[in-house]
Amino acid sequence: MADTDIKKWYVVRAVSGQENKIRNYMESEINRLGFSEFVEEMLVPTQKVVQIRKGKKVSKQKVYFPGYIMIKANLSGEIPHIIKALPNVIGFLGETKGGDPIPLRTAEVNRMLGTVDDLSTESENISIPFAMGENIKVIDGPFNGFNGTVENVNEDKRKLEVMVKIFGRKTPLELSYMQVEKI
């Protein structure tokens, strides 16, 4: 078994907001220098977040651990120095000054990667675009076209309690985020 076969997970600290750009640059540099057999995988853990903009679902990938890039590699020889010398890379997580990068424990890796897997399969997280007291218009369902006021926001069920005037009387309705839009 060659040295290059023993690979462990490490965390590279990078400038937040630049994770994907840094990962791509790191990948191309390692390939360019001929060290690709030392590096098996590089990940920027992300999660799918759905926001509602102008009444439409907008889905985007959000970095789950800002400023961190996971790398499965054999960090022998020059590799740690090459990675640390790249622009916007701060260093390795857990390293002591002048010491070697410390690999993640298997349990930590499973937890981090498990979290990432759960996030990609879990029902989409919707950031709540509504606040209590806000005026809304119903855009879906039997009360389509009615205007109302948000009385309560139920995050767990992803529902809004809306007070709508029907035939001159205020009537409470329970509506999902998808059924309403801001006025």
Co-location of 56 and 104 in the same domain:
yes
Co-location of 71 and 156 in the same domain:
no
pLDDT lower than 50: segments of the chain: 1, 122-123
Question: So what's the pLDDT on residue 45?
Answer: 84
Co-location of 140 and 63 in the same domain:
no
Q: Which domain CATH number covers 77?
A: 3.30.70.940
Co-location of 27 and 113 in the same domain:
yes
Question: So what's the pLDDT on residue 37?
Answer: 93
Co-location of 35 and 103 in the same domain:
yes
Distances (CA, A) of 86 to 21, 61, 83, 158: 12, 25, 6, 43
Q: Which domain CATH number covers 143?
A: 2.30.30.30
Instruction: Tell me how far apart the alpha carbons of residues 107 and 92 are, in angstroms, rounded to a whole number.
Output: 19
pLDDT in tens, 51-95: 777 778 888 888 888 999 999 999 988 899 999 999 999 999 887
Instruction: Tell me how far apart the alpha carbons of residues 104 and 56 are, in angstroms, rounded to a whole number.
Output: 40
Co-location of 119 and 139 in the same domain:
no
Q: Which amino acid is present at 109? A: V
Residues 181 and 145 sit within 8 Å (Cβ to Cβ) = no
Q: Give me the phi and psi of 6, to 5 degrees please.
A: -90, 100
| All residues at 6 or more sequence positions from 88 whose CB lies less than 8 Å from its CB, including other chains | 14, 15, 18, 21, 22
Co-location of 114 and 151 in the same domain:
no
Question: So what's the pLDDT on residue 49?
Answer: 81
Domain containing residue 95: 3-126
- Its pTM stands at 0.59
What are the residue ranges of helices labelled H in 33-177?
79-85, 106-121
Co-location of 102 and 169 in the same domain:
no
Domain closes at, from 107, 126, 145: 126
Co-location of 81 and 161 in the same domain:
no
Q: Tokens for 41?
A: 């995988």
Distances (CA, A) of 45 to 61, 81, 115, 141, 153: 10, 23, 9, 37, 30
